[in-house]
Chain A
Amino acid sequence: MVMFLVILGLLLYSYTYLLREKFNTKGNLLEFLALVIGSLLTFYLNNYLGWGAVIASAAVGLAGGVLPYVKPNSQAMKSAALAIYCGSFVGMASTFLFDEIHYIFIASVISGLFYIYTRGLFIGYGGKLGSVAFSGVLATVLLFMLR
């Protein structure tokens, strides 16, 4: 496990180094955190408060979507809104699939990494955010559940 994490860390570092012109560390960190928070919040509302996947995700997405109106000229708020919306798709997973809370955390971290590394691709195509969320969930299921 430790070995795996070390290799993963080095791999991510090398990617970041190779793509460093396109990177903006502070902005990416904000997006990453926004995605993880959006996902955990949706998961909580969806499963523990029983709101159901659609209402929980739409409510969290809408709350995130209002952020750019709070500070209209801020690019960071716009990207955070998108990241929260993407995170809310990860949180639509149910407790049947992720029966322990750390799985959803891992899924959102993987989705967050995918999100950051696929920035700038497929802008304006419907379904991109959902696919990023799905890849994170699928990676978690493949890593931990199909043993």
Chain B
Amino acid sequence: MIEVSLYIVGLSAAVIAFILNNNFKLGIVIGSALPSLIFALILKAFDSYLPDLFTTEAPVIFYGAAFIGMASNKILSSYSLIAVGGLLFTFIYLFTASYFEGFGGALGTTAALCFLPVYSLQIILSKR
């Protein structure tokens, strides 16, 4: 159940950041940092009511998936593909997190690794 909620967190983070970045024109920095900060602070406030696994992993997944939303809509225009990127991020993160604990930039690299397959999907789909 917690894993499912983590997938939902990943999906929504990517889409929220993408919308703030491209539709609201907040720019990539604020578009991804602001929702992540708010989400992390809310979770911190409700720390004692939520399961441990969720409060430790969800902010990190939200922040990482928001990096996928930093993509420009000129490069990737589909919301559903961004959402798939968010899900993919959560999937990869849940398996690789323990290897890169304490590494700066590991989230961003994982985000890039999730973005590129999704981007290639868009190219393949648009060629049809």
Partners in one complex: yes
Known contacts being A65-B33, A132-B105, is A125 close to B115, with CB within 8 Å? yes
Question: Which residues in B have their C-beta under 8 angstroms from that of A138?
Answer: 103
Chain B positions 36-93 with a Cβ under 8 Å from a chain A Cβ: 36-37, 40-41, 44, 59-60, 62-63, 67-72, 74-76, 85
Chain A positions 130-146 with a Cβ under 8 Å from a chain B Cβ: 130-138, 141
Query: Do A134 and B105 touch across chains, with their CB atoms under 8 A apart?
Result: yes
Knowing that A89-B108, A126-B71 are A-B contacts, what are 4 other residue pairs whose CB atoms are under 8 Å apart, sorted by A's residue number?
Answer: A58-B40, A61-B29, A65-B29, A128-B112
**A76 adjacent to chain B (CB < 8 Å):** no
A3: shortest Cβ distance to chain B, in Å?
Answer: 28
Chain A positions 97-136 with a Cβ under 8 Å from a chain B Cβ: 97, 107, 111, 123-136
Which B residues form the contact surface with A (CB < 8 A)? Answer: 27-30, 32-34, 36-37, 40-41, 44, 59-60, 62-63, 67-72, 74-76, 85, 101-116, 119
Question: Which residues in B have their C-beta under 8 angstroms from that of A90?
Answer: 104-105
Report how many residues on chain A are interfacial, defined by Cβ distance under 8 Å: 45
Name the residue on B nearest A135 (C-beta): B105
Question: Secondary structure of the A side of the interface?
Answer: helix
Question: Which residues in B have their C-beta under 8 angstroms from that of A107?
Answer: 104
Cβ contact of A130, chosen from B33, B71, B109, B116, cutoff 8 A: B109
Question: Which residues in A have their C-beta under 8 angstroms from that of B85?
Answer: 126
Question: Which residues in A have their C-beta under 8 angstroms from that of B108?
Answer: 89, 127-134
Query: Do B68 and A126 touch across chains, with their CB atoms under 8 A apart?
Result: yes
Cβ contact of B69, chosen from A55, A68, A91, A126, cutoff 8 A: A126
The complex places the Cα of A65 from the Cα of B68 at a distance, in Å, of 17
Question: Which residues in A have their C-beta under 8 angstroms from that of B72?
Answer: 123-125
B59: shortest Cβ distance to chain A, in Å?
Answer: 4
Chain A positions 50-74 with a Cβ under 8 Å from a chain B Cβ: 52-55, 57-59, 61-62, 64-66, 68
**A41 adjacent to chain B (CB < 8 Å):** no
**A4 adjacent to chain B (CB < 8 Å):** no
A138: shortest Cβ distance to chain B, in Å?
Answer: 8
Cβ contact of A136, chosen from B33, B71, B105, cutoff 8 A: B105
Known contacts being A59-B37, A89-B105, is A127 close to B113, with CB within 8 Å? yes
Query: Do B111 and A126 touch across chains, with their CB atoms under 8 A apart?
Result: yes
**A81 adjacent to chain B (CB < 8 Å):** yes
The complex places the Cα of A128 from the Cα of B75 at a distance, in Å, of 13
